[in-house]
Structure 1
Amino acid sequence: MLSHERVWAAIDALAARKGLSPSGLARRAGLDPTTFNPSKRIAVDGRPRWPSTESLAKVLEATGAPLTEFVALVSPEETPPCPVVPAGTTLPFAGLPEATTEGYFDDEGNPVGKGWDAIPFPDLDGNPLFALEISGTGWLPAYRDGDTVIVAPKAPVRRGDKVVVRTSDGGIDLHVLHRRTARTIELHPLSASGTIVVLDLAQIDWIARIVWASQ
């Protein structure tokens, strides 16, 4: 059945297929970057809001996606849900290089799609979590090649936390959160030889805290 949730989910899924966040998709279509923000999906009176036909038309034109592709994404069978992980069993698992490709995350940093494997983890307590495998030596001495980090998209992020950061260009990296202001975020490297990064919040899709690592 057609619903507000399915139409908005289809927009999110189309953005992911093109390697974009919803705000990135809006920019590519020549729309205000906030057009597809969660706050725009609810009217002032609290009722669900439909995306305009004009914005949908611009999105299809900008991405080159046929209408049939978008209609298929509206179908629940065509859009894989975020993996449901029962407590005490497994976590969605992917290598860090694979996770930088399109279709692995929604706009809030939750794992979606069929590209995930699974890894055992005992006590999830119902929280959304996912696992990434470290590849290479770029994060020494904090993490070695082959280490696995467990990431919690919904966990509060505080100064000094090790975090996974996805930027609006689709890049994913690991940092230490040092400072966050109303406009910028300062990220420190995990390696002694790395450089401090200062980004506008508009350049950040999401930040998620690393809550556990196998070492």
Structure 2
Amino acid sequence: MRHDDIWRALDALAAENGLSASGLARKAGLDPTAFNPSKRTGVDGRARWPSTESIAKVLDATTTGIEAFAELVTGQRALLSGRGPARRHIPLIGFAQAGSEGYFDDGGFPVGGSWDEISMPEITDPHAYALEISGESMEPVLRDGDTIIVSPAAPVRRGDRVVVRTTKGEVMAKELTRQSARRIELKSLNPAHPSYSFDLGDITWMHRIVWSTQ
């Protein structure tokens, strides 16, 4: 279990209750800034854990059991449910559009009325979205016309394929090869394209790819 898993679970719990991270803290009777990004890292740059008391208050305020919270920590509730043929409509845009303004809010959740929809296997993350690949920059892993499902709630670990948006508005699909408290390293899916290294401050959000049509 990592610090990021716990914080991501709190963010997912907030989203499931229609709240921001600060709204969740307020609902639990905590300081509204308790779950802010600035509180997740110490002044020395080391990752910080939320207190067990704050987690207990959040679970009580949202009537969430510890088992359900554990599912959020592991990402089980964010991934494909495997319950058979159940399907839902997921927001869809072309990958090239993802870097444009108006499609995502500050948390990386899809917003606005310009999204199309696609029927896909059931996925429990309410903020999951789909991107249609265009071009050859992600071959041979992802090809022109492939569709990927991306889950903001799914925990991200080394080796996962992710969609990343930078503070400059660039959106890219890469493989996470390393993440420290200050930097991430990303490998291009197409070996003909370069890999990247970013300060965490240069990343707006990073979401895990949980399914593709390939």
| Range class of TM-score, shorter chain | 0.5 to 0.7
Unaligned runs of 5+ in 1: 1-36, 50-86
Counterparts in 2 of 1:131 and 1:46: CA distance versus 1, 3 Å? same
Following TM superposition, by how much is the alpha carbon of 1:47 offset from its aligned partner in structure 2, in angstroms?
5.8
> So what's the TM-score if we normalise by structure 2?
0.60
Q: Which residue pairs with 1:151 in the alignment?
A: 150
Percent identity at matched positions?
46
SS of the equivalent of 1:149 reads: strand
8 A Cα contact 2:125 2:151, kept in partner: no
> Which 4+ runs in 1 deviate beyond 6 A?
40-43
> So what's the TM-score if we normalise by structure 1?
0.60
8 A Cα contact 2:92 2:115, kept in partner: yes
RMSD of aligned Cα (Å): 2.3
Counterparts in 2 of 1:150 and 1:40: CA distance versus 1, 3 Å? closer
8 A Cα contact 2:188 2:194, kept in partner: yes
Question: 2 CA distance for matches of 1:42 and 1:128?
Answer: 20
Question: 1 CA distance for matches of 2:174 and 2:195?
Answer: 9
Question: 2 CA distance for matches of 1:197 and 1:138?
Answer: 14
Question: 1 CA distance for matches of 2:197 and 2:125?
Answer: 33
Following TM superposition, by how much is the alpha carbon of 1:184 offset from its aligned partner in structure 2, in angstroms?
0.5
Q: Which residue pairs with 1:103 in the alignment?
A: 102
Alpha-carbon deviations, 1:162-197, whole Å to 9, x = none? 000000011100100000001110001101112221
8 A Cα contact 2:109 2:152, kept in partner: yes
Following TM superposition, by how much is the alpha carbon of 1:48 offset from its aligned partner in structure 2, in angstroms?
5.4
Unaligned runs of 5+ in 2: 1-19, 34-85
Alpha-carbon deviations, 1:90-143, whole Å to 9, x = none? 100000112211011112211111110100112123542100000100100110
8 A Cα contact 2:154 2:208, kept in partner: yes
Q: What letter is aligned with 1:46? A: L
SS of the equivalent of 2:121 reads: coil
Question: 2 CA distance for matches of 1:131 and 1:145?
Answer: 14
8 A Cα contact 2:125 2:153, kept in partner: no
Q: Which residue pairs with 1:198 in the alignment?
A: 197
